[in-house]
Amino acid sequence: MPRGVVPRQPARTGRQDKVRVPQSVGSKNARVGTGAPASLPRAKSRGPGRGKAPVAAPKIRQKTAAKPAASSVAKIKGYNPVAPERVADILKRLDQLYPDVTCALTHANAWELVVATILSAQSTDVNVNRVTPELFRKYPTVQAFAAITPEQLEPDVRSTGFFRNKSKSVVGAAKRIVAEFGGQVPDDMEKLLTLPGVARKTANVVLGSWFKKAEGVVVDTHVHRISRRLELTTQNDPQKIEQDLVRILPREKWILFSHQIIWHGRKLCIARKPKCADCALESLCHAGDKTWSKVEMHQDAKI
């Protein structure tokens, strides 16, 4: 080589003419020779910076097995939501919270309770209690209701919703009680179920709250929702929920349990944003829609 002639040095980026750098060359100390084969793949640059080694391909994370649902974990651990000791603890705490609660519907006799319960469907007890005082002053007896037509009753119960069907049920029940039961509301489940507008919920309310007969458990919207949250049932049908509850609750608690759960649903365990931080049942509740929890939550334990 003639003196004073310096051979051309490779560019720092490794992109000098006619030179291809293999991808495996990533060390800062690697020197790229001018005689590298042209068929090798071109190395990728990290960006505008110079003198930096090419970026290695990102590592692919291996997918791990999904964790089992909380309810599955609970079953594996032997958790039994309807274990007698857990049910007893729930009842004990309800007794402490609501020791002497009664039916929230205002009434003075069995017939007024029948009317109020029919009107409470798809309505609130507060709304019904605003309507019934004037209604019972206007029609003071079951005979007075039996003497009118459903159309005459409709304006008086309009604010409770579904007023046409409710008017037919109330007047029809009054006529049946006067014609077949001597004007007295029967204290028998089978007879009550023959009255228009009276299903098991209404019959259980009348038998339990007025006649003090524990023939079943009242399942209204609060009992439905909270029984599922507490994992006392997984059913959605009211009759199947009642069947589950009568199997696990002592008979002497059937009447009071419904009243307590209804009051609990109004005060704390409300539908959209339950006040879990203030609830005495919180440590026993694993509902998936809790707003605050210090225990494991089960995603299938909700309405």
* Nearest by Cα to 56 from 14, 79, 25, 32: 25
What are the helix and strand counts (H, E) for the chain? 12, 0
Q: Which long-range contacts does 110-116 make (Cβ < 8 Å, 24+ apart)?
A: 110/184, 110/185, 110/187, 110/206, 110/210, 110/211, 111/141, 111/142, 111/174, 111/177, 111/185, 112/136, 113/205, 113/206, 113/209, 113/210, 114/173, 114/185, 114/195, 114/198, 114/202, 114/206, 115/145, 115/170
- The encoded tokens of residue 181 equal 């039961």
Residue 151: strand, helix, or coil: helix
94 and 264 Cβ atoms separated by less than 8 Å: yes
Q: Which of 166, 175, 201, 290 is catalytic?
A: 201
Give me the phi and psi of 88, to 5 degrees please: -65, -40
Residue 298: strand pairing partners: 287
Q: Is 244 annotated in the active site?
A: no
* Amino acid at residue number 253: K
- The encoded tokens of residue 18 equal 């006619």
166 and 118 Cβ atoms separated by less than 8 Å: yes
Q: Which of 125, 156, 220, 244 is catalytic?
A: 220
Cα 126 to Cα 105: distance, rounded to the nearest angstrom? 8
DSSP state of 100: T
Q: Is 188 annotated in the active site?
A: no
Q: Is 110 exposed, middle or buried (0-12, 13-18, 19+ CB in 10 A)?
A: buried
- What is the set of active-site residues? 201, 220
